[in-house]
Amino acid sequence: MSTPDITGTGAGADAPAPVPVGQTHLLDLDEVGGRVERTELPGGLRVLTETMPGVLSATLGIWVGVGSRDEGPAVAGSSHFLEHLLFKGTTTRSALEIATAMDAVGGEMNAFTAKEHTCYYANVLSSDLPLAVTLLSDLVTEACNTAADLESERTVVLEEIAMRDDEPADSVHDLFAETLFGDTPLGRSVLGTVESIEGLTRDDVDGWYRSRYTVPSIVVTAAGRVDHQQVLDLVTAAFGDRLAGDTRPAPLRTGEGAVHKPARSAGLIARRTEQTHLLLGAPAMGRLDERRYAAAVLDAAVGGGMSSRLFQEIREKRGLVYSVGSSLSHYAGTGSFSVYAGCSKKRVPEVLRLIRAELDGVAAEGITPEEVARSRGQLKGGMVLGLEDTGSRMSRLGKSELSYGEYLPVREVLARLDAVDEDQVRAVAAEVFDRETCLAVVGPYRESDLDRL
């Protein structure tokens, strides 16, 4: 339930020292993981690879440093819309040709858009890595974004919004962001709104593509049975003329300043659901804040597993919910802590009372040394277990580069978790849990009911 983003981390406070273009740096060589190498190609393209012993596959990712946080309200959803459009065809390949090439080798190709980046990826047998590099590079650099494809895909995106609206456990997350961050880019859904999607023109979307999908904003990562030099050769061939000049990579994203108070105290989506789905939370630190390790330990102890306080008090002892848990989200410069629960309307008052009592207790007294030790163990074990597939390794490389500006070896992250003590956790709890909270609710309520919750 808890997904603190501690896997790809670095202090990032200082800008990385300039790296000679074309030179490859060995960043890590370890049993937990393999050989991690990084090269900056001309034009500002960054390539990171990690070899993993024992696997037959590779996962390739092409990351672009653009997401919904970069959008104004009128074009909300442009980054995600583009992510769809890119699969519709390039100057040399139709949508069917793209899909057929990948399906024929049993590969999995897909993409996702987040608030601060977009990622196109493919998981293939390592012998099919050349195909994956060729296809994904073509999508990212040669998309046509025709008006006809835009019209057809507009309906698909609207259907995706409708699907999200039908899943209250999903909707409540978008509502929470809106309640916490208000009418700001971080407060808006990655999907955009029905209105913004209906209003997007071909010029909007293609213009977004041309201005944002530039080589200095792109990072290529690959993990699994890969060879760094082979990936460099493939990428160099695929990007061709774009790799020229002495352009530097785009700078690390910095946040516009921390948020200390929710925009609103509560938000509601009134739906005739069986369960009420709720998120209660507050602003938290951004991802470059060193206290994030202590925050991750706190989050794990409060709502990160079956032994956590919330799970034990609310589900195990009282049987009030099926799901309850906490999570941390980190962005550049800010973040959030939240508790999710889903339960029947009649149980909502008691569940909310118990959640608040637990957060208040921890804000006042912190957690026990045993909880600190257990949570550190949980995070460390979970991190190592979670990095056993090529996709999560590929993803860690991409986030390290785009979000942290630095690659931290796994053993270094484990050491930082080990260094977290009771006092650090207490300090984070006292600050974050003492803040004004906001509540997002999807369920059978009216606006006037919110004050009583």
For residue 65 the two structure tokens come to 């440093």
| CB-based burial label for 421 (10 Å; 0-12, 13-18, 19+) | middle
Q: How far is the CB of 407 from a copy of itself (least distance, A)?
A: 20
Q: Calculate helix-pair angle for 129-142, 228-239, nearest 10 degrees.
A: 40
**DSSP designation for 385:** H
Residue 445 sits at the vertex; the CA angle it makes with 440 and 446, to the nearest 5 degrees, is 100
- Please name which of 66, 78, 271, 260 lies closest in space to residue 164, comparing C-alpha atoms: 271
**DSSP designation for 143:** B
Distance of alpha carbon 295 from alpha carbon 44, whole angstroms: 34
Alpha carbon separation from 178 to 2, 53, 199, 356 (Å, rounded): 21, 43, 21, 21
Q: How far is the CB of 80 from a copy of itself (least distance, A)?
A: 12
Q: How far is the CB of 251 from a copy of itself (least distance, A)?
A: 35
Which CB, 140 or 372, lies closer to a copy of itself?
372
364 CB contacts (<8 Å, ≥6 apart)?
430
Beta strands 218-224; 266-270: pairing state = unpaired
Which CB, 301 or 432, lies closer to a copy of itself?
301
Q: How far is the CB of 8 from a copy of itself (least distance, A)?
A: 18
Answer for the pair 300, 375: CB distance below 8 angstroms, yes or no. Answer: yes
Distance of alpha carbon 41 from alpha carbon 245, whole angstroms: 10
Q: How far is the CB of 217 from a copy of itself (least distance, A)?
A: 26
Which CB, 87 or 433, lies closer to a copy of itself?
87
Which CB, 77 or 168, lies closer to a copy of itself?
168
Which CB, 346 or 452, lies closer to a copy of itself?
346
Q: How far is the CB of 349 from a copy of itself (least distance, A)?
A: 15
Q: CA quadruple 372, 375, 379, 385: dihedral positive or negative?
A: positive
Which CB, 268 or 343, lies closer to a copy of itself?
343
Q: How far is the CB of 325 from a copy of itself (least distance, A)?
A: 12
Give residue 174's Cα distance to chain centre. 14
Q: How far is the CB of 444 from a copy of itself (least distance, A)?
A: 11
Which CB, 135 or 243, lies closer to a copy of itself?
135
For residue 408 the two structure tokens come to 């931290």
Which CB, 19 or 99, lies closer to a copy of itself?
99
- Tokens 């330990």 sit at which residue? 297
Answer for the pair 242, 301: CB distance below 8 angstroms, yes or no. Answer: no
Q: How many CB atoms lie within 10 A of CB 252?
A: 18
Residues catalogued as catalytic: 83
Distance of alpha carbon 172 from alpha carbon 277, whole angstroms: 7
Alpha carbon separation from 114 to 77, 80, 171, 411 (Å, rounded): 10, 8, 15, 27
Answer for the pair 177, 259: CB distance below 8 angstroms, yes or no. Answer: no
